Each structure stands twice: as structure tokens, then as C-alpha cells.
Amino acid sequence: MFRFFLNRFGATLPTLLGMSFVAFAIVTLAPGDPVQMELRAMGVVPKPEDIAAIKAEYGLDKPFLARYIHWLWRAVQLDFGTSIATGRSVIEEIGLYLPATLMLAISSLVGSIVISLFLGALAIMGNRLTASLLRAITILLVSIPSFWLALILIHVFILDLGWSRLVGEGDLSDLILPALTLSLGAGASLGRLVYERVRAEACEDYVRLAIAKGISPLGILISHIAPRIIGPLVTVWATTLGWMLGGAVIVESIFGWPGLGQLILQAIGQRDYPVIQGYLVLMGLVFVTTSLIADLVVVVADPQLRRRLHRD
Amino acid sequence: MTESTFDHPLKRRRLLSWFAFSSGQTSFLLGVLMLTSICLLAIVPSLLSLPKPEAMDLLARLSPPSEAHLFGTDHLGRDQLARLLAAIPISLGAAAQTMGIILAIALPWGLIAGLGSPRLDMVMMRLSDIIMAFPTLVLALAVIGFMGASLEASILGVAAAWWPSNARLIRALVLSAKERDFVRAAHMAGASRSRLVFRHILPQILPPLAVMISLETASVLLALSSLSFLGIGAQPPTPEWGAMLNEARPFFAQAPHMLLAPGIAVVMTVLAFNLVGEGLRDLLDKREPFRW
Amino acid sequence: MVNVLSVSGLKVTCADDKALLNHISLDVTKGERIGLVGTSGSGKSLTAAALCGLLRPPLAACVDHLDIDGSEMRRASSRDWRRLRGKKIFQIFQSPASALTPGRRIGPQLKECCKQVGAPIETANLALERVKLSCDVMGQFPYQLSGGMKQRVLIVMALILRPTILIADEPTTGLDVLTEADILAALSEMLDETGSALIFISHDLRAVSQVANRVLVMEAGAIVEDCPVTELNQSVAPAARELAGAAKALEAIC
């Protein structure tokens, strides 16, 4: 079993390597002289006269692969250069705002899981009419853009009702509205997924036997169906966290939540390439780690897989 | 699920089947209806005598809905309705372009991975996994960050981030289509690769592919308008619903009418695609759960 | 003799109003063992599903009268069915491979049955012994058992539940002859022990004749004959005579 974990972890390394290459190569998308862009990516804005000298100094006259390895070496030490805008090191900059974004993403994930289980359970246990109604509501919720939902929520809760303030300082009470915004959309689509998976399992023969035994719907749901769907659900939850990390950018910008979202938007506006690169790599890392944890949980939860691994 | 098991006297059922559409049919038809209406609305400006979307009437800034301006005006005195309608071809066009790029990459990728050797499959899946390892919107942001903010950049960014999940889906469809008995029979009878693909595999995957395309278009549309809302997609003065909402932000308290219409427009269009996709999916799925 | 199961006018239709089952009527007395035979597609499994209230859309059923051990089920709600299922009427389905919940060990699945009837857990162990299964089975997963063992687990469930009526839908189809003998022996044990009535559904007349003394023959959604097994070849209905003839021919070979 331990060997399996090690294998799985080892399989992530090529992916991480590939991701680092993408993050490095993405600089070439920038318009203009690619090498100048790379200088920019390192936080250096050269004067035209000095370009050749600076290129040599930073080793930028070397071939692509050599430059990549040089960049990778620094990246592994979490050195992504300095921000063009603030002059602080990129990792320091990101470190300031990362916790707030993680808090938002995780609380939104938890919120969406709760909403999804509630909606899914309601749809299953209810009759045909409730199921159709809930389905209509879900499709509608999923179609609402988070930025519009945020604006509506602000209008209702902040301007009209005055329950909360707009300029966030990172207190927990300020987290509620942004997290709710993200949770609603994701919760609706997750709820639909829960409903579909349960419905698909309810077509299977083993459910028929459980019904024939006279077991209550709740009993069938909890004892027979839930263990079957927990694996795929956990995988989707991990993907949802990735979605939250991206969606947080929008919500943070609207609610003024002091997270990475504001940082990255500023960086895009100022063409602060070191920050954009660092952001890409670190977000990727967080996501890969969550996916890895999810995969391991899936294996641990499936008894058939567990036994097979124990035997090896 | 609490209806009586034997409560289906034949006469009543025959009557019901005349009137009731299945929910799958309702969704699909409703969605198609909405999409057609939206496309038709795009040509309305040339029929009615609406002011041009760029025409600024600074004296009438931020005015609420009136006879001259049915949906009011924005902060530069431009007619909201005209801008809303002008945004239709832009938003839909951008979504179509993005989906076009996504399919152009994902369809061959999925087909080759599904039909090729296991080695090739593994390599291709690894490559797409690398892209998928980034949170989707984050990757799009980075692409836009390096290309410079514009509608084209957001189209490319979203396409770059969205194609791997579609490729994976297509590959899964191709793999299950490949295993069907009639395909294996054709293969053993000596059918050429292209014949297998075009006559046996593609027709099989077309229905679930149609579902996927509708639902993904909805998702892409949401992403594109979100990016425009953040100011890094469609740039002013291009009329685009997300961008219009962004421009409305500073004036939200004074002119709430600017908030409603573009938002509703996005919701309606995305909803239409979702209804079409979900409706199709329902129509294709014949299995029914056991009644408890 | 009191009827534990009495149904009349059972009709099952498909989406386009095509009648799959036509006015089925049958009676089963307490402890009686009857067989329900017919060629594939004659409607045997549909009848069984309808009797347990387990039909799913697009199939729809209507019935004049369905009495299960004293309860009229024509207007019964889901809750009423839940009260009856397991204790009054229980069904063992074809393809045991998919009948047991995949991710759960056999033990909890059997304990569930014990809880249904309020029996202590030892009942499960005793029941396993009666069908000659080792108690180790309790800790195993369905994928670790053979087809015959899984079918016997289903019979164990019937043993625990002690239903008034047991419907066994093709319990030996797909199993080899030796295992079939084991299953039929286990089934007889179960019936002797619990005194349940049995409806044994099969297309194999030999298997049916080993357990049942009265047989109903179905053809194209209707019951065409209802007589003791021995009188089958003298039946008026051609379908019944054909079945009897085929079974006799097989017997003549081995």
C-alpha cells in the first residue's frame, strides 16, 4: 500500500515538470522581443543600450533549454524574481495574499458541498414534482455568472439591508458574502451531480434487491448507494477547489477581499510578468496537491482497491 | 416516489401522453427557442430605428428607462438597448470562436488518443493532464497576462485552458464506441481506419458530443463574460455584456437599471445553452431508476 | 386453504400501450410451491416484478385485485409496500452477480435482513450453515464469491427474512448442473424451515419439477395452463405440451 502511495506521488513529478515548462514557455506569448520579455519576467526593465550586456549577465544569450533549466533551478527554491510593480520578491508578495484566497476557496468548497448534499437529497427523496422543480432551479443557478450574482447580493445585503460592509479587511464576517457567491453556483452544479450519480446507481440491480428486502429509501441511500458514489464525488470536489481558486479572482475583486485576485489583476494591468509566472506555478502546485490527496482518498475508500493493494 | 404502484389506468395514461412532454423534450425545445430568439434579436437593430450603440448623448447620461431610450442610458449617454443587442453577435461570436478552437484541438486529440496505440494514448493524456493541472481560469488569466488584455487574448486563453477536459471526454466516448461489437466486427472485416472513424465511430459519439458542446459553450460564455467583466477581455468601447456590467460598477447605487439588463442577457444566453445540453442528455438517457 | 397471494386481472403495458402481460390471474395457498414456466419473453419476470411492485417506467401496471397475505395492494402507497416487502413477500433475482451491493461485505448485508425482522445476528450464521456456506463468507466481498455462492447468499437472506411468499426468478439459470443441485437443495431446506410459499420461475422444466408440484405455463403474456407437473403433456395448450415434450427428450438422453 505504501508502495502504491509512493508510485502515485512519483507519477505526479513528470506532471509538475511539464507544468513548470508551460509556466516558463508562456512568457514567449508576450508581444515584443522574447528575450526582453524574459528580462521583464525576471523583474529587470533594461535600457536599450544595456540590453546586450544584461542579456549576457543573466545568461539570456544561452539556448532555450539552458535558460529553462536555470529558471527551474530558481523556481524550485521558490525564487521567482522580484515584482516589477512593488520591488518585493514575488514569493513574498504572493505569500501576503495567498492565505486569504485559500481561506475563501476552502470555505466556498465546504459551502458548496453542503449545498450540493442538501439539494441532491431533496431531489432524491421528493416526488417527481420536487425533482423537476429542483432541476429547473439548478440549471438556472448554474447559468448565473458569479460576478452578477455578487453584484446582486451586494445590492441586496449591503446597500439595501446594510448587513455587511463592502471594503473588506479580511475578517471572517466579511467572508460570508464572497463565499456564498462562489458556493451557490458550484453547489448547484455539484448538487446536480449528486442527484445524477444517485439516480444512476438507483438503476442498478443491487438497489432492486435492497428494495425487495423492504429497506427504507434513506437506508438504501446511506448504506448502499453512498459508499459507491463517494469516490467519484471526492474527485469532483478536488476539481471544484481548482474552480474556486480561479473564481476567487472575480469575487475578491468585487467584494474587496484581500486575496490573490486583486494581486493578479494588478499584475496583468502592469505587465508584472514575474508575479504572473509565480502565481501560475503556485496555483498549479496547490491544485496538483489537492488532486493527489483526492486520488488517495478514493483508493482508501474503495475496499476492492484497498485489498488488491494490500496483497501486492 | 409516493405514488401508488398500480395507479395507471390505461385511459388516463393515453390522455396524459398527448399533452405532457417529457422534461427532456421541454428543456431541449425551450433552449432551442431561446437561442433562436436571441439570434433573431441580433438583427433587430437594423429593422427598428434604434440609436447606434456608440452614439453618446452626454446630456442624457445615466437616465432610467424612458420613451427615447427603452432600457435607459449608461454613463456616457449611450442607449442601453442598442448596446445590449449589439453585444449579441460579439458575445456569441467570441464563444463560437473559442469553441471552434477547442474542438479543433480536442476532437483530433481525443480521436487519436482513443484509436491509437496504448503508448500514444498515454503520452497524449499525460500532455493534456499537464494543462489540466492548472486551475482553469488561472491559466486563462496567465495567458491574457502575457498576451496583453484584449478580446482575442481572452478567447485564446479560455481555449487554451478548456480544451484538455474536452479532449478527455471525447477520448472516453471514442474508447467506449470502439468497444461496441459492430465496430470490432467492421475492423475484423478489414475496414480502413478512416472508414471506421467516419462511418462507425463518429456517428456513435455525435449525440453525446452534441450534449458536451452545448454545455461547454455555456461554460465558455460564462468565462468570457467574466474575463470581460474583470476588464481583461473585451475592451471598451466594444459592447459586451460582461464589459457593460464592469462599466456600470461605479454607478451602481445611482443607476441600478444598468445592472439588470446585461446580467439578464448573460443569464438567458447561458441558460439557453444549458437547457439544450441538459435536454439532449435527458433524451439520450433511457435508463430509469427503480422506484422505492 | 387460505391464499397468501391472490392476483386477478394484472395487466402490464409498455410506453406505446402494447400489452406485455394480459389479464394474469393466479392464486397461491400457504406453503404451496408452484412453478411459473414458459419460453423466454413470455412474461414470467414481468409478472414477478409486478407482484412485488417493482416495475419501473416506461412500464405501467394496472390490476383488478392484488392480495398479499391479507393486504389489498391495489391502492397501496410506497410506504405500504415497504411494510410488506421482505417480511411478507421477497424476491430472489436472476443474475446474483449484480444483486449484491458491490462495495459492502456480505456480513452487513445479511445483518440488514436480521434487523428487518428483528432477529438476532446469530440467525445469519445459522442460516449460512443450512445452505452449507462457511461463516467466513460474512467477512468477504461479493466479488470474492462464485456465482453459486452468491445465489446461496440470496437464499440465506430469504432464510433470515422468512417471507410468507418467496419468488425465485431463474435462480439456477447460468449455473452449472452440480451447483444447480446445491441451490435447489438449499432452496428446499429454506422452504422446509420457514414454511414459505414459493413461486419458482424458470424456463427449465426439470429444475422446476424438482421443487414444485403445480406449474403455471405462460405464453406471450398470458397464463395458458395451470396443472400438476405430471399432467403437463396432456394439456390442452400446445405451449405446455411442447415444454413437457422437450423436457422428456432431455431426460431420455441422460
Q: If phi over 0 gives left and psi between -120 and 50 gives alpha, with beta otherwise, what is residue A162?
A: left
What pLDDT score does A60 carry?
67
Q: Check C60 against B1: CB less than 8 A apart.
A: no
- Nearest-CA distance from B196 to chain A in Å? 31
| Spatial distance between the Cα atoms of B6 and C212, rounded to a whole number of angstroms | 29
What average pLDDT does range A105-115 have in this prediction? Answer: 94
| Spatial distance between the Cα atoms of A223 and A226, rounded to a whole number of angstroms | 6
**What would the pLDDT profile of C86-126 be if each residue is shown by its tens digit?**
889 999 988 778 889 888 889 999 999 999 888 888 889 98
| Spatial distance between the Cα atoms of A154 and A162, rounded to a whole number of angstroms | 9
Nearest by CB: A203 against B253, B266, B289: B289
What pLDDT score does B91 carry?
93
**What would the pLDDT profile of C149-177 be if each residue is shown by its tens digit?**
898 899 899 889 989 999 999 888 878 88
Q: Check B142 against A26: CB less than 8 A apart.
A: yes
> Above 80 in pLDDT, residue B14?
no
| Spatial distance between the Cα atoms of C123 and C162, rounded to a whole number of angstroms | 11
What pLDDT score does A52 carry?
74
| Spatial distance between the Cα atoms of A132 and A123, rounded to a whole number of angstroms | 8
> Above 70 in pLDDT, residue A163?
no
What pLDDT score does A166 carry?
60
What average pLDDT does range A213-225 have in this prediction? Answer: 87
| Spatial distance between the Cα atoms of C152 and B215, rounded to a whole number of angstroms | 47
> Above 70 in pLDDT, residue A172?
yes
Task: Tell whether C54 lies on the interface with B, counting CB pairs under 8 A.
Answer: yes
What pLDDT score does A244 carry?
92
What pLDDT score does B151 carry?
93
What average pLDDT does range B269-278 have in this prediction? Answer: 93
What average pLDDT does range B33-46 have in this prediction? Answer: 84
What pLDDT score does C254 carry?
57
**What would the pLDDT profile of A6-15 be if each residue is shown by its tens digit?**
888 888 888 8
Q: Check A147 against B126: CB less than 8 A apart.
A: no
Portion of chain A with pLDDT greater than 70, in percent: 89
What pLDDT score does B3 carry?
52
**What would the pLDDT profile of B176-221 be if each residue is shown by its tens digit?**
888 877 878 888 888 777 777 778 888 888 889 999 999 999 999 9
Lookup: cell for B81? 438597448
Q: Check C78 against B9: CB less than 8 A apart.
A: no
**What would the pLDDT profile of B261-273 be if each residue is shown by its tens digit?**
899 999 999 999 9
Portion of chain C with pLDDT greater than 70, in percent: 98
**What would the pLDDT profile of B130-146 be if each residue is shown by its tens digit?**
999 999 999 999 999 88
Q: What's the pLDDT band for A24 if we cut at 50, 70, 90? A: confident
What average pLDDT does range C213-223 have in this prediction? Answer: 88
What pLDDT score does A34 carry?
62
> Above 70 in pLDDT, residue C186?
yes
> Above 50 in pLDDT, residue B2?
no
Task: Tell whether C112 lies on the interface with A, counting CB pairs under 8 A.
Answer: yes
Whole-Å CA distances, C195 to B125, C33, C165, C202: 60, 10, 9, 21
> Above 80 in pLDDT, residue A272?
yes
What pLDDT score does C74 carry?
85
**Touching A: B residues 23-62, CB under 8 Å:** 23, 27
Question: Count of alpha carbons within 13 Å of A229, Cβ hemisphere only?
Answer: 24
Nearest by CB: B292 against C55, C62, C78: C78
Q: Which of B151-160, B194-203, C174-183 has the highest mean pLDDT?
A: B151-160
- A93-97, B56-60, B131-135 — which is least confidently predicted? B56-60
Q: Which of A28-37, A248-257, B16-25, B247-256 has the highest mean pLDDT?
A: A248-257
The neighbouring-strand residues paired with C61 are: C12
Say if residues C121 and C171 touch (Cβ distance below 8 Å).
no
ipTM for the predicted complex: 0.88
- The interaxial angle of helices A128-143 and B23-42, nearest 10 deg, is 30
Lookup: cell for A253? 475583486
Which of A201, A208, A209, A224 has the highest number of chain C CBs within 10 A, making it the mutation to test binding with C? A209
**Touching B: A residues 257-276, CB under 8 Å:** 264-265, 267-269, 271, 273, 276
Upstream peptide bond of B237 is cis (omega within 30 degrees of 0): yes
| Spatial distance between the Cα atoms of A224 and B292, rounded to a whole number of angstroms | 13
**Touching A: B residues 243-272, CB under 8 Å:** 245, 249, 252-253, 256, 259, 263, 266-267, 270-271
> Above 70 in pLDDT, residue B20?
no
Nearest by CB: B13 against C54, C60, C75: C60
* More confident call, B92 vs C74: B92
What pLDDT score does B18 carry?
44
Q: What is the DSSP letter of A171?
A: -
What pLDDT score does C251 carry?
73
| pTM metric for this prediction | 0.81
- A32-46, A121-135, B88-102, C227-241 — which is least confidently predicted? A32-46
> Above 60 in pLDDT, residue B33?
yes
| Spatial distance between the Cα atoms of A87 and B44, rounded to a whole number of angstroms | 52
Mean of the per-residue pLDDT values of chain B: 84
What average pLDDT does range A239-265 have in this prediction? Answer: 90
Say if residues B106 and B80 touch (Cβ distance below 8 Å).
no
Nearest by CB: C56 against B10, B14, B290: B290
Whole-Å CA distances, B209 to B22, B25, B30, B36, B260: 22, 18, 20, 21, 34
What pLDDT score does A69 carry?
87
Say if residues C166 and C15 touch (Cβ distance below 8 Å).
no
Ramachandran angles phi, psi of C252, nearest 5°: -65, -30
The residues, any chain, with a CB within 8 Å of residue B169's CB and separated by 6 or more, are: B106, B110, B212
Q: How many CB atoms lie within 10 A of CB B211?
A: 20
Q: Which chain B residues are Cβ-neighbours of A211 within 8 angstroms?
A: 290-292
Which of C45, C47, C62 has the highest number of chain B CBs within 10 A, making it the mutation to test binding with B? C62
Say if residues B196 and B186 touch (Cβ distance below 8 Å).
yes
Q: Check A304 against C95: CB less than 8 A apart.
A: no
- Nearest-CA distance from C137 to chain B in Å? 28
Beta strands C65-68 and C3-13: pairing type? antiparallel
Burial code of B231-269, b = ≥16 C-beta within 10 A, e = fewer?
A: bbbbeeebbbbbbbbbbbbeeeeebebbbbbbbebbbeb
> Above 50 in pLDDT, residue B1?
no
What pLDDT score does B94 carry?
95
Q: Which residue of C has its CA nearest to A304?
A: C103
What pLDDT score does A51 carry?
72
- B227-236, B248-257, C6-15 — which is least confidently predicted? B248-257
- Nearest-CA distance from A219 to chain C in Å? 10
Q: Which residue of B has its CA nearest to C64?
A: B6
